[in-house]
């Protein structure tokens, strides 16, 4: 039985607090959780996953792989058993991936190499996001699909006779790379994906653990990933590492709230994911990273953050792939810094769960922060010692990261900050409210 996610819905307000303190395990990583379910469902046999993120996005993927023929069982908190049969079959009904871009895009790639037909759907936010970036390369491999002008719903007809391709995606996207590699697991030869800017490599790291012939190598600022098709995947047991993108909210809260000292343990320290932490260091943040072992082929660290005045900096465009999900919360941190923070190369933010560039700018403007917004850049004029006024209401636009960023801002601002709807937080970080309360946050 795959549990439904209880979610906190409706407006919420975060009020200024005197200090935040404590030590918490980082929530499990969303990207790794999706992939662990998919690879386990592709394998022939039984895999056990521990510390799986039980968020709405990930349980949507669990339901989808069950509908595609795997046996999926929850044994206890974070503990799941997945038995795959080495091949997927047509699901009885549409696969509803909810809000999950990673879920839908990687599953389309993974399903494409089987003899099946599947319809993919999602919520309002996911249905507005571009799918052609995945369907176009899949078409080159021989996959047939019908979509609503490149958006969901998508009807996909898989094939056991896919052609291997050599492809350079026009956008820096781990989801695009991964969808092609997933399809390449079944293609007739070697499929290659060439990235001009390296994106997160969780697919390439995890696939060999399940016996796939897949690897990646750095190529200047970019990366070349390859997979040879034809192997039947073997089961594997793994534990999911902590999520640096989710950990960023408590870390940010500690940086902007006076006298705070917060530690998040077991955070994945991956160069394709830790751009925010490098930027925070450049802004003068008091961060300590302590090695904390490895999990599922990933290095872990405990991250401690103490509050202090930060300085605005220029964040170059080539940093974007390593911190693509962190711009809303970085824009909040920048609002508290002294001086301007200039963030460039942000066009991809407009294709996320919401137009995150416009939504981040609106969030700050509604709370008295001066910003300049361009097609692909954002300048935040930090309030510094004067403090962030706050007092505004943030429109979250079905976007979990906007909701969490707005609430974090309220903890350090002069006046409380409200968000219109907290429901989407459950898509990536169902423990957000409990974790923030444990650190001393006032969110009601």
Question: Quick one: how many helices (H) and strands (E) in the chain?
Answer: 13, 24
Smallest distance from ligand S3P to CB 180, Å: 12
Smallest distance from ligand S3P to CB 174, Å: 3
Measured CA to CA, the distance from residue 360 to residue 338 in angstroms comes to 19
- Binder among 40, 50, 125, 175 for ligand S3P (CB under 6 A): 175
Radius of gyration of the chain (CA): 21
- Token pair, residue 188, equals 């007739």
Flag whether 101 is marked binding.
yes
For every residue of 355-410, which 3-state class applies, written as one string?
CHHHHHHHHHHCCCCEEEECCCCEEEEEEHHHCCCECCEECCCCCHHHHHHHHHHH
Q: 3-state DSSP call for residue 134?
A: helix
Residue 76 or 375: the one with the smaller Cβ distance to ligand S3P is: 375
Cβ(205)–Cβ(215) below 8 Å:
no
Measured CA to CA, the distance from residue 377 to residue 75 in angstroms comes to 46
Residue 102 or 263: the one with the smaller Cβ distance to ligand S3P is: 102
Residue 206 or 362: the one with the smaller Cβ distance to ligand S3P is: 206
Flag whether 215 is marked binding.
no
Nearest Cα to Cα of residue 203 among 229, 230, 221, 185: 185
Residue nearest to ligand S3P (CB): 31
- Token pair, residue 255, equals 């940086």
Flag whether 401 is marked binding.
yes
Residue 180 or 253: the one with the smaller Cβ distance to ligand S3P is: 180
Smallest distance from ligand S3P to CB 153, Å: 19
Tell which positions 70-129 bind ligand S3P, by CB under 6 A.
Answer: 101-102
Smallest distance from ligand S3P to CB 175, Å: 3
Flag whether 35 is marked binding.
yes
Residue 51 or 367: the one with the smaller Cβ distance to ligand S3P is: 51
Smallest distance from ligand S3P to CB 369, Å: 24
Tell which positions 305-324 bind ligand S3P, by CB under 6 A.
Answer: 324
Q: Does 403 bind ligand S3P (CB under 6 A)?
A: no
Flag whether 30 is marked binding.
yes
- Token pair, residue 93, equals 């009904």
- Binder among 59, 173, 263, 331 for ligand S3P (CB under 6 A): 173
CA 208 to centroid of chain Cα atoms: 22
Cβ(104)–Cβ(131) below 8 Å:
yes
- Token pair, residue 165, equals 């391709």
Flag whether 217 is marked binding.
no
Instruction: Kindly indicate which of the ranges 71-79, 141-149, 170-178, 183-191 contains the residues binding ligand S3P, using the contact rule CB under 6 A.
Output: 170-178
Smallest distance from ligand S3P to CB 15, Å: 29
Cβ(397)–Cβ(424) below 8 Å:
no
Q: Does 326 bind ligand S3P (CB under 6 A)?
A: no
Smallest distance from ligand S3P to CB 343, Å: 16
| Residue 270: C-alpha distances to residues 201, 231, 323 (Å) | 9, 28, 11
Catalytic residue among 325, 399, 421, 435: 325
Within 10 Å of residue 282's Cβ, how many Cβ atoms?
14
Q: Does 270 bind ligand S3P (CB under 6 A)?
A: no
| Residue 280: C-alpha distances to residues 349, 356, 416 (Å) | 20, 20, 24
Q: Is 259 a catalytic residue?
A: no
Measured CA to CA, the distance from residue 176 to residue 178 in angstroms comes to 5
Within 10 Å of residue 17's Cβ, how many Cβ atoms?
20
The conformation of residue 242, written as its DSSP 8-state character, comes to B
Cβ(382)–Cβ(338) below 8 Å:
yes
Tell which positions 25-54 bind ligand S3P, by CB under 6 A.
Answer: 31
- Binder among 325, 326, 399, 421 for ligand S3P (CB under 6 A): 325
Flag whether 356 is marked binding.
yes
- Binder among 51, 125, 145, 178 for ligand S3P (CB under 6 A): 178
Instruction: Kindly indicate which of the ranges 90-98, 134-142, 169-177, 188-196 contains the residues binding ligand S3P, using the contact rule CB under 6 A.
Output: 169-177
Residue 55 or 178: the one with the smaller Cβ distance to ligand S3P is: 178
Measured CA to CA, the distance from residue 395 to residue 293 in angstroms comes to 39
Q: Under the rule (CB under 6 A), what is the footprint of ligand S3P?
A: 31, 101-102, 173-175, 178, 200, 324-325, 348
Q: Return binding residues.
A: 30-31, 35, 101, 129, 173, 175, 325, 352, 356, 401
Which residues are catalytically annotated? 325
Which parts are annotated binding residues for phosphoenolpyruvate? 30, 101, 129, 175, 356, 401
């Amino acid at each position: 039985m795959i549990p439904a996610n209880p979610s906190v819905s409706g407006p919420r307000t975060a009020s200024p607090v005197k200090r935040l303190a404590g030590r918490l395990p980082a929530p499990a990583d969303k990207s790794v959780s999706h992939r662990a379910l998919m690879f386990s469902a592709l394998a022939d046999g039984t895999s056990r996953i521990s510390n799986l993120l039980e968020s709405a996005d990930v349980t949507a993927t669990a339901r989808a792989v069950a509908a595609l023929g795997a046996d999926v069982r929850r044994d206890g908190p974070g503990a799941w058993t997945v038995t795959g049969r080495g091949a997927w079959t047509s699901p009885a009904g549409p696969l509803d991936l909810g809000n999950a871009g990673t879920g839908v895009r990687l599953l389309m790639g993974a399903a494409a190499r089987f003899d099946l037909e599947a319809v993919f759907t999602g919520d309002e936010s996911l249905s507005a996001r571009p799918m052609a970036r995945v369907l176009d390369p899949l078409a080159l491999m021989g996959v047939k699909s019908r979509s609503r002008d490149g958006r969901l719903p998508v009807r996909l007809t898989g094939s056991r006779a896919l052609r291997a391709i050599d492809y350079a995606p026009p956008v820096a996207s781990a989801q695009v790379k991964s969808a092609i590699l997933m399809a390449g697991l079944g293609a007739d030869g070697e499929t290659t994906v060439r990235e001009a800017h390296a994106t997160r490599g969780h697919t390439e790291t995890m696939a060999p653990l399940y016996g796939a012939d897949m690897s990646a190598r750095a190529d200047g600022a970019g990366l070349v990933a390859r997979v040879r098709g034809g192997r039947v995947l073997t089961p594997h047991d793994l534990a999911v590492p902590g999520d640096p993108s989710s950990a960023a909210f408590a870390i940010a809260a500690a940086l902007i709230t006076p006298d705070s000292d917060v530690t998040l343990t077991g955070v994945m320290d991956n160069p394709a994911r830790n751009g925010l932490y490098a930027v925070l260091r450049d802004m003068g943040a008091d961060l300590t990273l302590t090695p904390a072992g490895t999990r599922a082929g990933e290095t872990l660290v405990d991250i401690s953050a103490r509050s202090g005045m930060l300085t605005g900096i220029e964040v170059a465009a080539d940093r974007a792939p390593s911190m693509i999900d962190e711009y809303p919360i970085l824009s909040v941190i920048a609002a508290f810094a002294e001086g301007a923070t200039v963030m460039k190369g942000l066009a991809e933010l407009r294709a996320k769960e919401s137009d995150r560039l416009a939504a981040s700018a609106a969030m700050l403007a509604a709370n008295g922060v001066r910003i300049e917004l361009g097609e692909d850049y954002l300048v935040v004029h930090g309030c510094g010692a004067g403090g962030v006024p706050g007092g505004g209401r943030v429109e979250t636009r079905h976007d979990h990261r906007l909701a969490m960023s707005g609430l974090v801002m309220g903890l350090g601002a002069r006046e409380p900050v409200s968000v219109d709807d907290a429901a989407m937080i459950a898509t990536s970080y169902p423990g957000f409210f409990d974790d923030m309360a444990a650190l001393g946050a006032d969110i009601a």
